[in-house]
Amino acid sequence: MKTNFEAQCNILAQLWIEHREDELLKDFVEYNDIGLPLAYFISEGVVLPTDLAETYVGETFEILLSALDVEDTGFTHLDQVMTAPEGED
């Protein structure tokens, strides 16, 4: 099961709001300077999602999972993503 779009937005929004100043995430936040705030704006209902917005958010979420070496098992909260076991090589 994959993480649905609404959950992706909520997870990325929480990450952006709570951890954007975290030195360990600096490169990730800078690289995803569109996807993270876009996810926040969508999760807060400031903007409506479009196909292009879904692409940006989806790519940002995939980059997060890849950076953490975590398989998408259908997350609903950021803490699940951050504490998920790393993938096996």
On whether residue 88 sits in a domain, the answer given is no
Residue 45 is predicted with a pLDDT of 97
User: Is residue 37 included in any domain, yes or no?
Assistant: yes
Helices (H), the chain: 5-19, 26-31, 35-43, 51-68, 78-83
Q: 37 lies in which domain range?
A: 5-83
Q: Which residues contact 56 (CB under 8 A, 6 or more apart)?
A: 34, 35, 38
Answer yes or no: is 89 within a domain.
no
Q: Is the pLDDT of residue 89 over 50?
A: no
For the segment 14-62, what is each residue's pLDDT rounded down to a tens digit?
Answer: 999 999 999 999 999 999 999 999 999 999 999 999 999 999 999 999 9
Domain count, the chain: 1
Report if residue 21 sits inside a domain: yes
